[in-house]
A and B are shown apart, each in its own frame.
Chain A
Amino acid sequence: MSLKMLVVDDSPTVRAVIKRTLNVAGVQCDEICEAGNGVEALQLLRQSAIDVVITDLNMPEMSGAELIQEMQADARLKKIPTIVVSTEGSKTRLNELHQKGISACLRKPFTPEQFNEVIHRVLEQTHESRI
């Protein structure tokens, strides 16, 4: 299964680290798109068929939480598996995000092994839901 992914983070460094980790994890991607905030991400999501979104929370213009809220309000976008990769450690906020429909959370700093485990778990769920 080859996928089109969207990595959303205001830090180009983090986007590059995530892209490299995806490659190391052996995730087969047709394309990895990048966005620096929620506004840019929404534009990309509405223009093209993205399979998985990996997003930070703390970003300028539109945060990751606002992006997730916008995606949930859109019948097509709400079906896209979304992984939050952020520094968030509050149980309250993480529970809110899960209630909004995110697929998984990964806290920074993460190891390649942790990233690998989360991305493959979400991809398996995605694959099963498409069968």
Chain B
Amino acid sequence: MKAVSDEQVDALTSVVCDVLEASAFSFADPCAKDELPEARGDLFEAEITFSGEKQQGTILLAAPAELAAAFSAEMLALDRDEVSDLQAADALKELLNVVCGQWLTAVWGVDPVFRLTVPQMKALTETEWRSICERPGARALVVDGIPLACALGLSGRATP
């Protein structure tokens, strides 16, 4: 793996906040990793891979199921208790898809071409959740008191 720069991760954090506000009407605040609220209930991550001449890598969003359900409820204009697990997972994957596209142009501009994979979901153990939060390319955020982590991993190629 290639080291990610603070600027790249800062750009990712900024894009995550903007996309959550625009798409899920949710406000995320960056948070120090040691001040992140406890994650309760089931935990999930959505991961997407991008590849292009300039860079290859992955971006992920990790969150408790209740936060994914809150995003879905906002996007679909439903009450939280009306949202199914599938809808919650789909909302997190779609938000990640948008985050990835926006981050690529925020960092690399509009000239390079990148291929994106379809986002994949998986359940996380508490150990895996903590491990993601501790990664060098990860940032912690809080949405309505619920923790959210975003992380960037790069593999090879140049830096902007």
Question: Which residues of A come within 8 Å of B, CB atoms?
Answer: 10-14, 16-17, 20, 58-60, 86-93, 107-109, 111
Contact = CB atoms under 8 A, between A and B. Distances in A.
Interface stretch (B109-117, B135-143, B152-160): B109-117
A86 B105 CA distance: 13
A93 B113 contact: yes
Interface in B82-106: 86-87, 90-91, 93-94, 97-98, 100-102, 104-105
Contacts of B23: 108-109
Given A58-B116, A59-B118, A111-B22, A87 B100 contact: yes
Interface string B67-93: 000001001110000000011001101
Contact of A17 (B75, B100, B105, B116): B75
Contacts of B76: 13, 16-17
A88 B100 CA distance: 10
* B interface SS class: helix
B91 A13 contact: yes
Given A11-B93, A17-B75, A91 B110 contact: yes
A92 B94 contact: no
A87 B105 CA distance: 10
Contacts of A111: 22
B118 to A, nearest CB: 5
Contact of B94 (A11, A20, A60, A90): A11
